[in-house]
Copies of this chain bind each other. A is one copy, B any other.
């Protein structure tokens, strides 16, 4: 079978399965999650053997250390999968929730019911644990899923797919509820994103160029997350201790995450008081600083930040610093150079901080908190399939609710339109 036919077959099977999983009971979906965990636990050795094949081929092919690290299925990661499955099982089922049922003057009662999206296609890097994460979130939210992981993880993913099938069967749910693409042919991705008759939404996870390509070529909705160029703005009325703690934490808690601060903005009136102390702390931790002209008058040793720096997601121990004159300048800088991801103001001023959260056009806006909090778990979603920097449908961390939609429900007693 050629790749296109194969993907169409998966798509058709997913569409059929999506109807069954959409009306599956919470009990059955949770039973499947628990049974998948049991299968993974039983097959731990098989999974590690399959992963060893991927790792060996990856080493042969000269994958870099970071990629190999993400590819590896350690016992710790397998335990993490088991824990994740249990956690998703304990989350409230979003499907079927009815809200806002209100009577209208005509006598009908109108509300909204939360329903699955249908079939979700997920395209991700060579990280086998994402297979289980994505499968569990789609399953719990009543969606069918087609998963296309990175080709380097093909053996691991197929072994995990077998565990998923075992779990689904144990709960009496269709095996096609979660399908893992079995070919590493890149045409499979092209097919997956252009089958609106079978796939309702695509969630791409990976590098910016992959996501841009998928967004450009997809014929269905894409819940996408491009880069995270996050800012902290230390306002004129900032509390110095909060400012320093949050600026350090937002940059240095982890360097490679999308909610890490990449540019620090400081109100001119506070620069002399705060920047030298902050710079010393950063330098001690090993963060390279790059500053605007005025910053470099205060911190004479640091490099110059060029125009490019303001638009760069470093994902590394590098920080750009700019001194601004007003809140408006800070907001203007963030809306122009940021990626609409996460931005935080440090201020004790009510009106200025209120303006900041109203006017900064990002998926998460914060007052006196570290940008590192922009995360599904920290927000109480229980889990997250990604962080959307889009405005349509889902914005910010996407959990179970982001994988659903709402339909209108009308309860009547024989009413007709007059």
Contact = CB atoms under 8 A, between A and B. Distances in A.
Contact of A373 (B113, B397, B413, B417): B417
A70 interface: no
A358 interface: yes
A106 interface: yes
B392 A253 contact: no
A412 B253 contact: no
A104 B359 contact: no
A395 interface: yes
Nearest to A368: B412
A312 interface: no
Give the number of copies in the complex. Answer: 2
A369 B411 contact: yes
| A contact patch SS | mixed
Contacts of A365: 113, 407-410
**Most chain B C-beta atoms within 10 Å of own C-beta, residue among A117, A390, A392, A406:** A392
A391 B246 contact: no
A253 B416 CA distance: 9
Interface in A74-102: 96, 102
A104 B415 CA distance: 45
A412 B378 contact: no
A166 to B, nearest CB: 27
Interface in A322-338: 335
A407 B221 contact: no
A396 interface: yes
Q: Pick the 8 closest A-B CB pairs, nearest first.
A: A369-B412, A242-B414, A249-B416, A372-B417, A366-B410, A221-B392, A393-B393, A368-B412
